[in-house]
Structure formats: structure tokens, C-alpha cells
Amino acid sequence: MDTRPPADARANALDEEDSVATIAAPDALFASILDIAADAIIVVSSSQHVLHFNQGAAQVFGYLPEEMVGRPLSLLMPDRYRGAHGAHVSGFRESTERARRMAERREIYGLRKDGTEFPAEASISRLETRHGPIYTVVLRDITERTLRERNERFLSEVGGLLGTSLDVGRTLQALADVPVPYLAEACIVDVVGPDGAWQRQVSHSEVSELREALDALARAPLSWDSPWRAIDAMRARKPEVVGTISDDWLEGHTESPAELARWKALRMRSALFVPLIARDHVLGALTLVRVSHAPFTTEQVALAQALGMRAAYAMDNARLYTMAQRATRAREDVLSVVSHDLGNPLAAIRLCAAALLEAPPADVNERRHLMQAIGNSADWMSKLIQDLLDVSTIEVGKLSVEKRTEQVAPIVRQALAMVGPQAEHRGVQLTAALDDAVPAVHGDAARLIQVLTNLLGNSLKYTDRGGSVTVSAAALHEEVLLAVRDTGSGIPPEQLPRVFERYYTRKRGASKSGSGLGLSIARGIVEAHGGRIWVESTVGVGTTFFVALPAAR
């Protein structure tokens, strides 16, 4: 195909080119000077046809010099600028200015041979000749600079958004939303807490299909055993790009048909996985999803990595703030327990010890009673201290749990034996109802006995003489369901949401106040086993605590 301009246009261009010769330098020297410039330098006639097109212009626009000489300058402009270009040139010609920066008044763009646009900055100068004015345009492609400035603004805005809250939940949501739509159409954030629990947050979307797919994914958090590539990025501590995602790829990186269906519904074409690392700790990973065909560029991967670094520190700050708040509350709670709950048995020990030292009873039974009171008070203090230690380890996610396959019946029998004397003293009947087909559990027997004794102790405390407390166990799908049911005073509905809180105690119907740690510890142990615990109650009828534990495979 002949890309040369028409003969008459070439002739006009050659006539106008004569005027270039009037410049002080010879033609060859003039051309050689222009061609060594890195910027695009274009000389045009008064009719806006190209007289000279240097090598810099050829690299920027993609045209060879011989393809552009004699052709109109408007070929290098997007359509939306061509109509106004003539008026701008006329205004410059009639002005007293000899040179002008074209970007002083407006943003300009160039048009490459392949049809792509790019941002540019340019200057134009005018030289009067006997054939009319000649214009020289010096143009620079500022795509990289514009992109760099845009990315810097993006990261600056991200820092502001992530720094607006120290709440972990809000920080997670902000982190899921900030990459959209600048880097991807959707974002999934997977983080693992200090206690090993996984949490997933997804970006918002105005597209209903995308929103439904993301909502389904939000309900299925990751695990360290997952084949999803975010886990690989976390272990390798570097970003991973998957340029093309097919159904076969998804099938190889998901664990179940249900998970495969959830990711297919997202209709993702490519993905970028970025680890979240702060203070040399891997906190989680971002999964940036594109449903379009546009691949992730090297610059975008670097930008996502910078985003991940800022996001990780924002997450870490939010976690540290939350831990500091918890530590402050825990300190206040411990001081309250030490000053109040430990004060009572300590006072009893002091009084009994003073009686034995200053005026010991002559009767052996009375002396034994005083010494027994000292021992009981010391046991109570020891139990309280152990509870404080347990709740502290649960709080930081370091509760020791040694799981193995355990039969349920021995666990229940030992827990009943431990609270048997207390039930006998209170006149409350203890019974067990164990299903013969109940499977074994995967757990720590000592810790599960601790759960049951805490639940049984709570039930006995709120059950009057003549009442009963029953422990049952049965199979429930892939779990074992334990239940502690009493005929006590029951829990008012407004108090039910708080019964598992630390240091929360119910005064109504209780025979004896406690530290308020037993149920909180029970919940921590159950959750450390991957189980669930909840309560149902009717005032005046009784209360049932349920514990669902994973059955041993």
C-alpha cells in the first residue's frame, strides 16, 4: 500500500520546504540536529502540513518520516481536538508571541499510528518566511510521568482512607474497596488473626451479578490447607500474577464443587495475588480480580505491592490498637477481680488464722472446721487465679489445646464426678443421657472436661434444691452435640447476648457470685477446638447450654 501523500500535496510541501533552506544552517545540518533530539520535533507549514518529522517523532507516533512529510498535522491528533486546532493556530499567528507552551491552557493528547492516545506536553514556535509562517512543534510523551503521578495520588488517597479508622473491621472493608476500580473490578481480602482464625472481606460492587458472587465468597474464608493461590503468595512472600484464568485452572485451585461454583460465578479473567506483610509477619493476602481481558502490567503489579505494604501496616496498627484496648480492659478487670473476688477468701483466711493463733478452740472439730475453711478459701483463690490465666491465654490466642481422638462418655463421667460433691451439697440431682451411637471427638479431653465443669458449675449455681441438671451427648451430622440442661431460674432474654462475656455475672437467682470468667473460658476452649457454643433459656423453666464439637474422622 502506498502510504505517500498525493502528488499535489507533496509538491506543495516541497515548495514550502524551500523556506526551511532560508534558515542559517544548511538542510542536512538542520535535519541532523533535529534527528538526534529525543523529543518529537515536527515542522509544519502555514497550511498545517508536515515539512519535517524527526526520528523522535517517529518513535513517539509510530509513523516513518516519509509517511508523514506532506500530510496534515491533524493526523496526529484525536478527533475531538481537530476542529478547534485551526482556531488555536490562527490565534497564535495573530498574536505577538513567538513561542508558546501548548499545555499552558489545556491538557493535550497525541494519537499514535495504531490508534492509541497518549498524554503529551508541547511547545510551539513561529518563524516568519517569505512563503508565510513556519511552525515548529516540540512534543514530549508524558505517559510514564502521568501514570507515576496518578499512582502517587492513588497511594496517597489510599493512605488517607486506611488511616481514618483503627477498627479492624472497618480497615478490612476499606482495604477491600480501595483497589476498585483503579486496579481491578473486584478485590477479596483474606487475613489470619493471631489466634489462627481466618477472616474474609470483599469489595462492594454496583453490578448485581458481581455483588452476589462476592457475597457468596465472603461466606467461605480461606485456610492454610487451601490450594488457592493467595496461600502461595503468602508463603512465598511475593506477588503472583495469573494472566489467564480458565475453568480448568479454577478446578485445580479449589477444594470442593461448591467452592468451584462460587469462583466461577465471579467470571474472572485474570488475577493478582499480593501478600500483606508487616513487621516481617504475614497477615494475609489480597486477591485482585479482573473480569475484563486487560492483563496486569508490571507497573500495576508494583503498584499493588505498594498498596499491599500500606494496607498491611494499616491492618497491623488496627490490630495493635485493638489489643491495647483489650489489654487496658483486661488490666482493669483483673484489678477488679483481685480487689473484690480475691478479697473475700483472703479475709476468711485472715480471720480463721487469727482465731487459731489468738484463741484456738478447745474442741478438735471446731479447729478442724477453721482449718478446712482456710483450705477451701485457698482452693477458691487458686481456682480464680487459674481462671485469670486461662482467659489471658485465650485473649492472645495461645490457649494450649492438644487434640486427639477422645471418647465422649469418659469426659462426661469425669466432669460429673468433679461437680458431684457440690451438687450433693446443694441438693440438686445430676444425671447423664448419652446416646450409644455418639461418635468420638477430635479434641483435648482435659480442656473439654474443663468446659463441662464450668457449664455444670454455672447451672448448679442457678438451680434450687430439689432441681436437676442433665448432661446429654448425641451425634449431629459431622459433629457431636453436648447439652447441659438445668431446671433453674432461667436467663432473661435481654441478658442472653452477654452471658459469654468476660466478667459478666448474673445476680438474679444466683446462690453465690463468681468472677464471671467460667462461661467466657468455656467459649474460648470450644472455639479453639473449631466448635460452637450457645445458650437457650426460659425464665422460670430453666437453661440449656449447647456445645457442638467436630467429630473425629
pTM for the structure as a whole:
0.53
Q: Measure the CA–CA gap between 523 and 528, rounded to whole angstroms.
A: 8
Are 204 and 211 a contacting pair, CB within 8 Å? yes
**Cross-sheet strand order for the sheet of 281-290:** 198-202, 186-192, 281-290, 270-278, 240-242
Please, is 540 exposed, middle or buried when counting C-beta atoms within 10 Å of its C-beta (0-12, 13-18, 19+)?
exposed
Torsion sign, CA atoms 439, 442, 448, 449: positive
User: Which three cell numbers mark 224?
Assistant: 492454610
Mean pLDDT by 10 residues, the chain (553 residues): 50 47 48 72 91 92 93 92 81 78 68 92 87 88 86 83 78 88 92 85 89 91 91 94 92 92 92 92 92 86 91 86 74 60 70 85 84 78 70 62 89 87 87 88 88 89 93 91 94 88 58 64 86 93 94 84
Residues 6+ apart with CB under 8 A from 29: none
Q: What is the pLDDT of residue 465?
A: 92
Cα–Cα distance, 288 to 300 (Å, whole number): 11
Per-residue pLDDT, 86: 77
Q: Which amino acid is at 73?
A: L
pLDDT on residue 515: 58
Asked if residue 101 lies in contact with residue 88, where contact means CB atoms within 8 angstroms, the answer is: no
Q: Distance between CA atoms of 92 and 99, rounded to whole angstroms?
A: 9
Q: What fold is seen in the domain 404-550? A: Heat Shock Protein 90 (3.30.565)
Task: Kindly compute the dihedral angle of the four CA atoms of residues 380, 385, 386, 392, in this order, to the nearest 10 degrees.
Answer: 150
168 contact partners, CB below 8 Å, separation of at least 6: 315, 318, 319, 322
Phi, psi of 272 (to 5 degrees): -130, 125
DSSP 268: -
CATH class of 147-322: alpha beta
Give pLDDT, residue 11: 46
C-alpha–C-alpha distance, residues 349 and 373, integer Å: 7
DSSP 409-432: HHHHHHHHHHHHHHHHHHT-EEEE
Q: What SS3 string covers 478-492?
A: CEEEEEEEECCCCCC
* H or E stretch covering 182: none
CB atoms within 10 A of CB 139: 23
Per-domain residue ranges of the chain: 7-141, 147-322, 341-395, 404-550
Q: For the chain, what's the residue count? A: 553
251 vs 83: CA distance, rounded Å: 53
State the Cα torsion 98-104-106-111 to the nearest 10°: 70
Element (H, E) at 196: none
Check if 7-141 and 404-550 are the same fold. no
For the range 421-424, what are the long-range contacts, defined as Cβ-Cβ under 8 Å and sequence gap of 24 or more?
Answer: 422/457, 422/460, 423/456, 423/460, 423/469
**CA separation for the pair 538, 490 (Å, rounded):** 5
**How is domain 7-141 classified at the CATH fold level?**
Beta-Lactamase (3.30.450)
Beta strands 441-443 and 99-101, pairing class? unpaired
